[in-house]
């Protein structure tokens, strides 16, 4: 199992894929760990309640060419981006949907520039699935 931050750059994915192909390769499931909001690459599909599967990538049998490495790293990145587009919400929406006491610091993903006003404070972004996970506990 290998853990990454959700804001991991594409170069990190390329390095991981290149190293993995050189070691023989595997079939990886790309998952989000709801306990700490990190991306987890597992060689088996976990049925644990705190992992959300978001995609898969097969590095076994591939050659270490620039094209293959870029393609596989792009698959991982696009799976994470698609998940982020669906599940990341701003603080005000999180409070309105789940209430102030359910919005935990664990669900905090990152700060982003406010697209509406230049002089406004940065937006705090939270993961909807993490809030749901901790709301039930």
Q: In what order do the strands lie in the sheet with 2-4?
A: 2-4, 38-42, 27-33, 51-58
Q: Residue 58 contacts by C-beta under 8 Å, 6 or more apart in sequence?
A: 25, 26, 27, 28
The tens-digit pLDDT sequence of the chain (137 residues) is 889 988 889 999 999 999 999 998 899 999 999 888 889 999 888 888 889 999 999 988 888 889 999 999 999 999 999 998 899 999 999 999 998 888 888 888 888 888 888 888 898 999 998 898 888 66
Q: In what order do the strands lie in the sheet with 88-90?
A: 88-90, 123-127, 108-112
């Amino acid at each position: 199992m290998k853990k990454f931050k959700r804001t991991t750059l594409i170069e990190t994915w390329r390095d991981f894929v290149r190293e993995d192909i050189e070691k023989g390769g595997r079939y990886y499931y790309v998952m989000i760990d709801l306990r700490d909001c990190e991306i987890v690459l597992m060689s088996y599909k976990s049925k644990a309640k705190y992992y959300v599967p978001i995609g898969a990538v097969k590095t076994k049998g591939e050659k270490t060419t620039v094209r293959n490495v870029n393609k596989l790293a792009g698959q991982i990145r696009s799976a994470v981006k698609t998940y982020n587009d669906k599940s990341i919400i701003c603080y005000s929406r999180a409070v309105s949907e789940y209430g102030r006491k359910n919005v935990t610091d664990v669900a905090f993903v990152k700060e982003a520039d406010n697209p509406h006003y230049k002089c406004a404070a940065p937006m705090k972004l939270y993961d909807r699935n993490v809030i749901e996970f901790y709301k039930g506990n």
